[in-house]
Amino acid sequence: MASKEYYTRLIKDKAIELGFLYCGISKSEFLEEEAPKLEEWLKKGHHGKMMYMENHFDKRLNPTLLVDNAKSVISLLYNYYPEESLENDKDAPKISKYAYGEDYHIVLKDKLKLFLKDLQNEIGQITGRVFVDSAPVMEKAWAKRSGAGWIGKHTNLINPKMGSFFFLAEMVIDMELDYDGPIKDFCGTCTRCIDACPTEAIVAPYVLDGSKCISYLTIELKDQLLPSEFKGKMDNWAFGCDVCQDVCPWNRFSKKHNEPRFLPNESLMKMSKNDWQDLTEEVFNNLFKISPVKRTKVSGLKRNLEFLNP
């Protein structure tokens, strides 16, 4: 029978072969350090109206409740940093870099299912589940434990060689492996992300009030109207926001992704400010049929666009 070391190497090699930037592995156990932080964050209402964050509290902290007899959490990073500037018209509304191509949930789920199937073919009987931002899994906590990076003052994961423009994904399996450990926090005295946030959503180093975050306001908040207190503070973002990452010095190490499914929609690249203002349901459906932006529905995106107008 092959050793833990052999299987660990096999998994990491397979991850790189499938295009992941990084693969780190942690022992599956209760996240004792994160439990009181999550409880406090929820108590302060920093999740806004994302009521689903209050659900499955135990599952968020304990992967053995998601996969029977879970032994290992495999954390993966997948690059989405684009090659070029994505705004054709500098006055046009902005959307996050990750949203110009195909929905990452679909792209990464496809890769992860293939990954798990390949492992089962090579190793034999493995029980496991794959996760991409769609289940009660504390992705950043597990990625930090696996040595993928540290959680920055903006609460995004930062990798010292690749910055932060990547997606996180996990595989929880019932197999013991060799485990990695966390790395040092290199934020130092830098406060660029805190200083640059248009809505002052980073209320303290390493604490994000999600209810003030532009990404929350433009995507997660389903209210008919956006809160008037944020009028004039949205920095022209119609879907998501990249400000805290754009100003982070570590993102000078970001490199262009090579995922064809993340290439920007050509029609979207040509959208002018007037095109955005005249957005119809038909145009929305054509532009965003396979994009993460479809989450807002046309009514949500139009709400955001109207809020940006003086």
In 3D, which of 101, 114, 88 has the Cα closest to residue 256? 101
SS3 159: strand
In 3D, which of 257, 37, 283, 67 has the Cα closest to residue 151? 37
Alpha helix (H) residue ranges in 18-90:
34-43, 57-61
CA dist., res. 197 & res. 41, Å (int): 19
Angle at 121 between CA 181 and CA 133, to 5 degrees: 50
In 3D, which of 174, 168, 178, 135 has the Cα closest to residue 25? 178
Residues belonging to the chain: 310
SS3 22: strand
Rounded to 10 degrees, the C-alpha dihedral 139/154/241/198 comes to: 160
- Both tokens assigned to 22: 């990084």
Choice among 58, 91, 133, 195 that is catalytic: 133
The reply to whether 133 belongs to the active site is: yes
Which stretches does DSSP call E strand in the chain? Answer: 22-27, 72-79, 94-95, 128-131, 150-151, 157-158, 166-173, 202-204, 207-208, 237-239
| Contact residues for 248 (Cβ-Cβ < 8 A; gap 6+) | 152, 154, 158, 163, 164, 192, 193
In sequence order, what are the beta bridge partners of 163?
A: 159
In the Cβ-directed half-sphere of 70, how many Cα atoms lie within 13 Å?
23
Return the active site residues. Answer: 133
